[in-house]
Amino acid sequence: MNNQEVLLEVRDLEVCFGDRRKKFVAVSNVNFEIYKGETFGLVGESGSGKTTIGRAIMRIYPTSKGEILYKGKKINGNISKELDRQVIKEIQMIFQDPMASLNERAKVDYIVSEGLMNTQKLPKEEVQKRVQKALSDVGLLPEFASRFPHEFSGGQRQRIGIARALIMEPEFIVADEPISALDVSIRAQVLNLLAKMQKERGLTYLFIAHDLSVMRFITDRIAVIHKGRIVELAPTEKLFAHPLHPYTKALLSAIPMPNPIMEKKKKLLVYDPEMHDYMIDRPSWQEIEPGHFVFANKGEFAQYQKELEK
């Protein structure tokens, strides 16, 4: 039994789009917990539902079923104004595209301070002081506050997005593919910045990405999602050492290897959902070993157990 403090819990989450006549289920039966101070990874291909889960936690997307609990309190659906203010302050999001997530018509000081001004009544001098500190914390000069977003590079714009989140002094941050739109040389800088902020402020991250090779070095645990359903969840190194679900194995096989000889010999696995026969033996979300969960029916579960024993 894990004795770590659970900061956020997702129970049987379902998110749908459309209406009764044409309903699309984007996310179904999603369950996981995020512990205080950890970096929890959510990985899957484009369109798998990763961002939908992040935005449901942020209350951007409404949920159809299930519960999202933050510090034991339900935060999806109708909640009190007091709890809504707490969620806005304590849960922040870093968006994927720094070119699209910043208001081009607004100056940096307004962009960074907007959330602060909407939730707290502070003197103008105090707001300016906090903006300058937030910019400084992410490695930007305080005088950048008077500039517009188009005057910055992609990496600098993402730092502005991080400053916008940090100025609220959050406890939990949803990082939605925060490095995928950046140059390779800039990615390490942003990842190091996020790690530094986590260490200094005790932050908890939900890190959403499609690149497992990056996730290995920054996450404590990883959940693998396919077409709106989580198929496997385990501590990061355990997932890399003993992947069980065929989709997880396919994702891991696609990671490039630095050794060209090994890369040539590597066998690329292709996942076919038709390989599962769920007509009679229905699958469920099960714990196969401490902290390692997999979506499987009885036959598959027995097979996965044999794989682990080997």
pLDDT, one tens digit per residue, over 155-212 is: 899 899 999 999 999 999 999 988 887 788 788 888 888 999 999 999 999 999 988 8
Q: 16-23: long-range contacts at Cβ-Cβ below 8 A with a sequence spacing of 24 or more? A: 16/64
Of 76-80, 95-99, 250-254, 300-304, least confident by mean pLDDT is: 95-99
**pLDDT above 70 (res 59):** yes
Could you give the CA distance from residue 61 to residue 42 in angstroms, rounded to a whole number?
A: 18
- The helix (run of H) or strand (run of E) holding residue 66 is strand 65-70
Q: What are phi and psi of 286, to 5 degrees?
A: -135, 150
Query: Whole-prediction pTM value?
Result: 0.91
Q: Please, which pLDDT band fits residue 2 given cuts at 50, 70 and 90? A: low
Confidence class of residue 75 from pLDDT cuts 50, 70 and 90?
very high
CATH topology of domain 6-309: Rossmann fold (3.40.50)
Residues 6+ apart with CB under 8 A from 241: none
What was the pLDDT predicted at 296?
96
Classify the phi-psi angles of 176: left when phi > 0, otherwise alpha if psi is within -120 to 50, otherwise beta.
beta
**Whole-angstrom Cα distance, residue 117 to residue 127?**
8
Which helix (H) or strand (E) segment is 207 a member of? strand 204-209
**In the chain, what's the furthest Cα-to-Cα distance?**
67
Question: What is the C-alpha end-to-end distance of the chain, expressed in Å?
Answer: 25
| Residue 113 token pair | 């301070």
**pLDDT reading at 1 higher than 60:** no
Task: Determine the Cα–Cα distance for residues 158 and 235; give it in Å rounded to an integer.
Answer: 28
Residue range 2-8: mean pLDDT, rounded? 85
pLDDT at 22: 85
Percentage of the chain exceeding pLDDT 70: 99
